[in-house]
Amino acid sequence: MAGKKKEHTLVSADTGQALQSGQKPPKPQMVAAPPVGNATSLRIGAVVLWVLAIVFEVLALLVVLGKLNFKFLPTMWQLILLIVLDLVCLIIGSQLWKKANHIKPASEKNPVKFWLWNNLGMIVAVVAFVPLIILILTSKDMDKKTKTIAAIVAVIALLIGGASGYDYNPVSQEQQQAAIEAIEGTVYWAPFGKVYHTHEDCGALNQSDKLTYGTVEQAIAANRTRLCSFCAKRDEISGVVTDDVDVKDYIPESTDAPQ
C-alpha cells in the first residue's frame, strides 16, 4: 500500500520563483554559479559594521568620561542609545560574517583557528562592550541610578551580541568539499531546519509544502549544512555530514511501490 505522493511547491534558490506543479527543476548545471564570490563582500560588510560598533562604543566611553554630551538627552539615554546602535551594528556584522563562512568555509585543520574564525562575532562583542561596562562600573562622575541602568543595559547587550556572534551550525571547508564531491545532483530543503535532501520525495519532507532546490553549495550557504540521513542511505552516500534525526520508521516509496 503506497500512500499518496506528497506534492511540493518547488522554489528556485536563484530566483525565488516557484515551478509549476509537475515541472521538474532544471539540472544543477543550469542553476546559476555558486555564490562563492559573495563571501569577500560579506566579510568587508561585516568588518565595516564591526568598526562602526566600536565607534559607537568609543562615543559611549566619551560620554561616561564627560568628554562628550548630546545635550538634548539625559546622560542615561545617551548611553542607552549608543549601546543600542553599537549592538545593532554588531549583530548585523556578525550575521554577514557567518553567512560568508557558509559560502567560503574555513579549514578545520587547526581547530582553535577554526573556532575563532567562525565565532569572531562573539570576540568582537567582548571588545565592543566589556571596556564600556568596566568604565561605567568604575565611573565616579555618574549618579548611581544612571550607572546601574547603563551597566545593566550594556551587560544585556554583551550577552545578546555574544550569542548572535556564535555560529551554532558551523561548516568546514573539508565538509563542504566532501559534500560537493559526493553529491552531484540537485538538492532540496524545507523552509526550516538544517538539513538538505537529495530526493524531493523524501519522507522527511512530507510536512513541507514549499521546498527550495539548488546545488549543495547553495544549501550550505542557506545554513543547511547536513545531508538527510535517509537520503544518504538511499543513495549510499558516505563521508558527508548527515543529520542524526531518527528516521528509521520511514520506508522510501520507490522501494515498495512497483513501477
In the complex, the residues that contact Zn ion under the rule CB under 5 A are: 197, 202, 204, 228, 230-231
| Nearest CB to Zn ion, comparing residues 8 and 197 | 197
CB of 152 to Zn ion, least distance (A): 46
CA atoms within 13 A on the CB side of 140: 0
Interacting residues of 69 by C-beta distance below 8 A, sequence separation 6+: 63, 75, 78
| Nearest CB to Zn ion, comparing residues 136 and 204 | 204
Cα 192 from Cα 224, distance rounded (Å): 9
CB of 204 to Zn ion, least distance (A): 5
Copy the grid coordinates of residue 48.
565595516
Cα 99 from Cα 78, distance rounded (Å): 32
| Nearest CB to Zn ion, comparing residues 142 and 231 | 231
CB of 191 to Zn ion, least distance (A): 15
Handedness of CA 49, 55, 56, 61 (dihedral sign): positive
Furthest-apart CA atoms within the chain: distance in Å: 82
| Nearest CB to Zn ion, comparing residues 108 and 200 | 200
CB of 199 to Zn ion, least distance (A): 6
